[in-house]
Chain A
Amino acid sequence: MSNLRIIPRLDIKGPNLIKGIRLEGLRVIGDPQEHAIRYYEAGADELIYMDIVASLYGRNNLSDIISRAAKNVFIPITVGGGIRSVDDARHILRSGADKVAINTAAIARPELISEVARRFGSQAMVLSIEAKQVADGKWEAYADNGRERTGLDVLEWVRRGVELGAGEILLTAVDREGTRSGFDIDLVRAVSAAVPVPVIASGGMGSLEHFKAAALDGSADAIAMADVLHYKRMSIGDIRAAALAAGLPVRKV
């Protein structure tokens, strides 16, 4: 098994790091750069940046924030929100990102996944999924940061996305996001089993038990978290130590 990754997720609105609950009710946390450097120095394995209003306005505004981060942060950076074309992806990658995460535009035009994967490699093409449960064992993919229904079944959509060239899945459970009530383990497990590529579980981390459950019961390859880190409820060091104590394959720093 590859080492389990601990990934701080930075949701951005304008110049600010923000945090919402179920992707709504946003509160300003502070300066994204300060937080990025703090997480890098604390031993984060990667960072995820999401421009959470970008798909509404049709463009991603993160390139300045990313180029600043890239000068001081030497771990992989994934950037999502409002990326609609190969040119958008190129712009974000040139700013210093290693991967782009695409949701809304890939739902509108799935061939974009292949275009980005062919041009920059599958490893740079992360399919972002915003999932809401609709029945037992059934989830629907949402667009526009959890605002718009699409009618797509999550499991069918991730399989198709990987066939088209997605190299990784960022899986956000919208109903859990910002609630600290734990990951949607059934969702994580179902998606992990559906595709051969790594799955990043996102949405709901509130305790170390949640982290362990996502890895052990959900088979997540990476775990994204925001609230617990932004509000300093726990540190990356605490999480890493607890994971090591539980025998989980996080890297030793």
Chain B
Amino acid sequence: MSQPSVTIVDYGMCNLLNVARAFEYCGAQVTVTEDPGTVRTAGRLVVPGVGAFSDSMKEVTNRGFGNEIKAFAQTGRPMFGICVGMQMLFDASEEFGEHEGLGILPGRVKPVPSIAQNGRSQRVPHIGWNHLVEPELGRDWHGTLLEPMLGSQPAVYFVHSFSAEPAQSTDRLADCVYGDHRICAAVQRDNLMASQFHPERSGEIGLAMIRQFLSL
């Protein structure tokens, strides 16, 4: 079997080395690229992200990655957005004002609630391990990023203050529950996959998801 190739988009905002290391550890041949021209021909594309939405979108756009990522999404080849890389796939974010996203998936990025359902205040950012559950309307994980976790509620590592709220419930792949609020933890629409959590920091379960992405 040939080594699956993965291109990781480097728009200068975050530390990609741990993402690259995890994909390499899982058997991928990894290219980290600062050249938007290489995106369209990638076998698989990973859009990572850490930090603020608006700064990240600004860099993605200014460096010419925006249209290339949108074009790649249309190819049917597998694409994986991580954390802010997931958030940027949506229409807009409310972080530090209103900011436009890539608009590949319909929906908005909103703050993690700082008040739990019981009225108590809760920590934001949401940092730590949390369990993935099916969305309220259900979702079959067969054939998705989460197929290796079927029948379980895997715990994965989150660190974020904002999260995407998909407009189309069928895009929703998994939620986590924070202070009795449901937060969208992962989405998948055909070849487009994304997680709010960090698979590269989620131990063996995260690595299993990465291997699953490489097998799709």
Contacts and interface: CB of A to CB of B under 8 A. Distances in A.
For this complex, into which size category does the number of interface residues on chain B fall? 35 or more
B155 A71 contact: no
Interface in B38-91: 50-52
B21 interface: yes
Given A74-B201, A74-B202, A76-B157, A1 B129 contact: no
A74 B206 contact: yes
A98 B178 CA distance: 23
A207 interface: no
A3 B17 contact: no
Contact of A251 (B124, B155, B160, B200): B155
B127 A2 contact: yes
Given A45-B129, A74-B206, A251-B131, A121 B17 contact: no
Interface string A84-110: 000000000110101000000000000
A3 B128 contact: yes
B122 interface: yes
B181 interface: no
Given A2-B178, A197-B123, A71 B25 contact: yes
Which of B51, B129, B178, B200 gathers the greatest number of chain A CB atoms within 10 Å?
B129
Contact of A252 (B127, B155, B157): B155
Interface string A173-215: 0000000000000000000000011100000000000000000
B159 interface: yes
A221 to B, nearest CB: 6
B203 interface: yes
Contact of B128 (A98, A122, A198, A253): A198
A34 B190 CA distance: 41
A5 B155 CA distance: 12
B207 to A, nearest CB: 6
B22 interface: yes
Interface residues of A, number: 33
A4 B130 CA distance: 9
A157 interface: no
Given A74-B25, A123-B159, A96 B130 contact: no
Given A71-B21, A74-B207, A120-B51, A198 B127 contact: yes
B33 interface: no
Nearest to B199: A74
Given A74-B25, A74-B201, A74-B203, A3 B130 contact: yes
B129 A121 contact: no
Given A2-B128, A121-B51, A94 B17 contact: yes
Contacts of B15: 93-94, 98, 120
Residue in A2, A70, A124 whose Cβ sees the most chain B Cβ within 10 Å = A2
Given A5-B128, A221-B128, A198 B51 contact: no
Given A1-B122, A71-B21, A96-B17, A45 B201 contact: no
B18 interface: yes
Interface in A17-55: 40, 43, 45
Interface in B97-135: 114, 116, 121-131
A168 to B, nearest CB: 7
A96 B18 contact: yes
A127 interface: no
A3 B155 contact: yes
For the complex of A and B, list the 5 residue pairs with the smallest distance between their C-beta atoms, beginning with the closest: A251-B155, A121-B51, A251-B129, A2-B128, A3-B129
Interface of A: 1-5, 40, 43, 45, 70-72, 74-76, 93-94, 96, 98, 120-124, 167-168, 196-198, 221-222, 251-253
